[in-house]
Chains A and B, each alone.
Chain A
Amino acid sequence: MLTTKRQTSTTVLYTVSTGPPVLSWGTRASQYGLLLARLLAGIFVLALLLNEYCHAFRCPQNLPGLSSALPTSPAHHNLAAWLTHALPWYYRALLATATTWLIFTKSHLEESLLVIRGLGVQTSTSSPSYLWTSTTRFIPTSSIQDIFIHEAFRGFEVRYYLSIVVEDEEDVVVVFPYTAS
């Protein structure tokens, strides 16, 4: 979904996003629901780690004190305790890592192209997780050799892409690499 932010004729920002375009009630509700799910999963991972710690260092009596320090709930503790008994340790480690990775993955991707007359162009790709910031690349106009639209095969279909040839560089810079269609 392409949005354009054009405040003057010399500065334009094109944004392509795989997220929902219109913020209706349904999409807003689903966003908040996802946020809640991430929070609950995070608390669950914390409870699991707490359980591991207690099992490793034999501290049953300290459990209430620790659990009041961290924002975990009894339901999470029961679930974590059940899992600690049910699965061997490598499955639990795998579950914890997979859940953490899922918590920090973003659900949609956003890419943008900023064109500033007299200065250059800047492409930006958002990172797939919340832990890193987006990668940007600024290309000054003096080092742009050419810009062209070319087609490429992806599976059995043909896709068009915009690419920038930068002087003294071997590879072209593809604009909107992940979201272009």
Chain B
Amino acid sequence: MDVLVVGVLQGVDPRNVENALRVQSLFRNAPHPVEHILDRCGGRPIHVLGTLNSAKTTLSFDPKLLSVRITKPGQMPRVECPKEAGVVLQVITFDRPDPRRMQYLSTTPISLSLEDKLGAFSSVPPFDELDKDEEVERKRKAKLVEKLKLHTVVTHPRTSKELALPIILNQINCSAELNDLMQSNINMVGTRLRRKMSVTERVAETAASLRDSISLRMKEAFLRNVWPTVSHLFIWLLMLTRIVAEALLWLLDWRPLPNLVALKDISATAQQLDIRLQQFCYWPAQYRTLQRTSCDWMSTSDSHPEYIRFYNSLWLVANDVIIGIALGSYVLENADLVAGQVDTIINTYSIEGLQRMITWLTDYPAGLKLNNELAKFLADLFLWVIDYWDGSMRQLRPLLPYVVRLIGLSSLAGASLPISLVSDLVSLLTLHIYSFYIASARIYSWQLTIIISLFHLFRGKKRNVLRNRIDNCDYDLDQLLLGTILFTLLFFLLPTVAVFYATFAGARMAIIALKAALDTWLACLNHFPLFALMLRLKDSRRLPGGVRFELQDTPAALLHITATAAGTRAMAPTSYIKLKSVPLPLSQTFSQYAQLGHRLRKHYLSPHVFLCLVSGQFVPPIHRKNLYSLQYSMLPVQRVTISELWGLLRTPKKVDTAAAYANGHVVGSGHSKAKQGRAKASEGYWWST
């Protein structure tokens, strides 16, 4: 049998309390319907369990009426049960979680990101291979687990006691509010001495009721006159901005053909704008969800993760704007200096540095002897393109201060916008390096393929493309001769081409690393779980990551024979266990980051990438679509449409303005009286006030 103590009522008789519970007089003046919270507790009615520190001692054990003793405050409770009853007791103590501070117990960790996005966004290469591998691995493990089920020798059907744990945890979560309600109605129980109120209490009560009535009248006046116009204006403004946002989002998401890229896939700025607009579209819906929780018991609300997500995104945006304003004001003040610096950096690294490097390659680089004519030809080719690029860049040089001013201005809307703009500018300004990389990679890979094929010819074999294998082949003499000569030529020209390819591949990798660093910075600004971290420091019981049980040492005084007035008797064996909440571990708070980092590492630092580099195939940059799982983890897959938003904003929220008059006192919401018996964080057994 499992029993859970919800609260302790002082100075009342068990039979009167049982009667009061049956007629539900202990649940009067509840701020919300009691059925909601009782349904949450498994729909079982509340009973009287027993007595605490009663005057008479029992000789027998009655499971319907337990007798518990606590001799000193802070000591473990002792259930009076003689050994002859043959009952084994487990007493589990816990700190009652306070639902008004959003604390609760849970066996499953709180999930801070919205539903699993695995299937929502179709992956694009290169991540789709990783996804396929993961899927294969998962299927294999699922098959093994199914196989394990065949090895079970004896299956035990689940007893109701074992299945009761989730209901017990729900009951623990609801116990604080139920206890407050019952304590506030303790006057309703049977024949309790009605103590007349003293003069000071009467004065305090009158002052409190006066204050309550004044505040209520002011609230009513405000609601009747000012609120409708203000709220209508606000709603119209919100709908207008929502329509503009929808238009922008549609533009950013437009694909000319279903398989081609959209604007937000190629440009970091577009993706950043997209995220901000979607966050803005989601905030009203989130706020409405949170408002709805205040219309019911706090213990029954499931939207604690929503609260954390909402305030996390608000806080991050606020941080973003603050950092952006600082950065933007610096850039705007020193626009010319910054423009000059940017100019110097671009020149040194992408134009002059590259020119120097290419000239160095023509003249015994690192002691290697290259084919002078080919090296000169390639160097002239690349240098000419760089000159042309430099010329056209110089045409655009006068625009640079304006561009810098634009970046500074955009940073006032958030620090993430200038970062994404810089990332896009880096891609644009190093377009020539990208084209050089593609050209030299192409040449290099062609040369390598031809050398391999001619090597097969050397050995008298040929590659059969249909069967994907190497077959013997009869070559004519002139074919063999020509092939060997070409093989020798190309083989000795390979180092020259390889050296140029290595230069541009290295430059391209450096640029990809820079863009990856900027993207990481952006992801941190957009999605750092700041709120969750702060909560973990401030009140870790709001972020449950599971429960734990700790076995306490049974105090020696309770262990053996207890001396009572009737003589010495042996007590039933009792074990004391403490139930605690485990806060969400840091690894799970950062699980999204860990996953993305893992995938990035598998993509960029794997042997496959080195093989691609060596054989001249393209190393593709990370397609923006693969970052979706992180960037959009806090947003729903389908955003709230305009009509849904209109519907949400139009439903009036339940306002309890009706003042309930009971017992001659104004009761605003039922909470003011309940505060007298306010739950303090203490042991499961405690006394009110």
Interface string of A127-161 (1 = CB under 8 A from B): 00000000111101110011010000000000000
Q: How far is the CB of A117 from chain B (nearest CB, A)?
A: 8
* Closest CB in chain B relative to A126 CB, distance in Å: 13
* Closest residue of B by beta carbon distance from A5: B551
Number of contacting residues on A, CB 8 A?
Answer: 29
Are A136 and B577 CB-contacts (below 8 A) given A10-B90, A141-B162, A142-B163? no
Out of A9, A136, A142, A148, which one reaches B158, CB within 8 Å?
A: A142
Query: Is A114 in the interface zone, CB < 8 Å from B?
Result: yes
Q: Is A162 an interface residue (CB 8 A)?
A: no
Contacts of B293 in A (CB 8 A): none
User: A82: shortest Cβ distance to chain B, in Å?
Assistant: 39
Which A residues touch B575, using CB under 8 A? 7-8, 10-11
Q: State A84–B612 Cα separation when bound (angstroms).
A: 47
Among candidates A7, A118, A146, residue contacting B151 with C-beta atoms closer than 8 Å: A146
User: Is A19 interfacial (CB-CB < 8 Å)?
Assistant: no
Which B residues lie within 8 Å of A137 (CB)?
546
Give B573-615 as 1s and 0s: 1 = Cβ < 8 Å from A's Cβ atoms.
1111100001001000000000000000000000000000000
Residues of chain A contacted by B149 (CB below 8 angstroms)? 145-146
Decide: A138 and B107 in contact? CB cutoff 8 A.
yes
State whether A8 touches B165 (Cβ < 8 A): no
Give A170 to B574 CA distance when docked, in angstroms.
Answer: 37
Closest to B580 in A: A136
Please name all residues of chain B whose beta carbon is closer than 8 Å to the beta carbon of A140 when the two chains form the complex.
107, 162, 165
A75–B548 Cα distance when bound, in Å, is 46
The number of inter-chain residue pairs (CB within 8 angstroms) is: 77
Q: What is the predominant secondary structure among interface residues of chain B facing chain A?
A: mixed
Q: Output the least CB separation between B305 and chain A (Å).
A: 21
Interface positions of A from 1 to 48, Cβ below 8 Å from B: 5, 7-11, 13
A5→B162 CA distance, assembly (Å): 23
Interface residues on B, range: 20 to 34
For B577, the chain A residues whose CB sits under 8 A away are: 11, 116
Q: Of the 9-residue stretches B138-146, B309-317, B323-331, B520-528, which lies at the interface with chain A?
A: B138-146
- The 8 Å CB contact of A116, one of B89, B90, B585, is B90
Residues of A within 8 A of B551 (CB): 5, 7, 11, 13, 114
Partner of B549, one of A116, A141, A170: A116
One digit per residue, 1 when the CB lies within 8 angstroms of any chain A CB and 0 when it does not, for chain B 143-182 equals 0010011011000001101110100000000000000000
Decide if B2 is an interface residue (CB 8 Å cutoff): yes
The reply to whether B573 and A9 contact each other, CB–CB distance below 8 Å, is yes
A117 partner residues in chain B, CB cutoff 8 A: 90
| Interchain CA distance A13-B585 in the complex, whole Å | 24
Least distance between B591 CB and chain A CB atoms (Å): 16
- Bound complex: CA A142 to CA B575 (Å): 22
Contact B165 A114 (CB under 8 A): no
Q: B564: shortest Cβ distance to chain A, in Å?
A: 21
In whole angstroms, how far apart are the Cα atoms of A169 and B557 in the complex? 44
User: Which of A5, A10, A120, A165 is in CB contact (< 8 Å) with B165?
Assistant: A120
B573 touches A8 (CB 8 A): yes
Q: Is A119 part of the contact surface with B, judged by Cβ < 8 Å?
A: yes
**CB of B88 closer than 8 Å to a CB of A:** yes
Could you tell me the distance between the alpha carbons of A120 and B548 in the complex, rounded to whole angstroms? 11
B672 at the interface (CB under 8 A from A): no
Name the distance in Å between A101's Cβ and chain B's nearest Cβ. 19
Q: Which residues of A contact B585 (CB under 8 A)?
A: 135
What is the distance, in angstroms, from B556's C-beta to the closest C-beta of chain A? 12
A122 contacts partner chain B, Cβ-Cβ < 8 Å: yes
- Residues on A with C-beta less than 8 A from B90 are 8, 10-11, 116-118
Q: Let me know if A122 and B151 touch, CB within 8 A.
A: no
Known contacts A114-B551, A118-B162, A136-B582: does B546 contact A10 (CB below 8 Å)? no
Q: B547 at the A/B interface (Cβ < 8 Å)?
A: yes
5 contacts between A and B (CB under 8 A): A5-B551, A7-B573, A120-B165, A122-B548, A145-B149
Known pairs A5-B551, A8-B88, A11-B551 / 19 extra A-B pairs, C-beta < 8 Å: A7-B554, A7-B574, A7-B576, A8-B573, A11-B90, A116-B90, A117-B90, A118-B2, A118-B161, A122-B548, A122-B549, A124-B548, A136-B548, A138-B549, A142-B162, A142-B163, A145-B148, A146-B152, A171-B141
Closest 10 CB pairs between A and B? A11-B575, A170-B141, A8-B573, A141-B162, A7-B575, A136-B548, A8-B575, A118-B161, A13-B551, A140-B165
Give chain A's interface residues, CB within 8 Å of chain B.
5, 7-11, 13, 114, 116-120, 122, 124, 135-138, 140-142, 145-146, 148, 165, 169-171
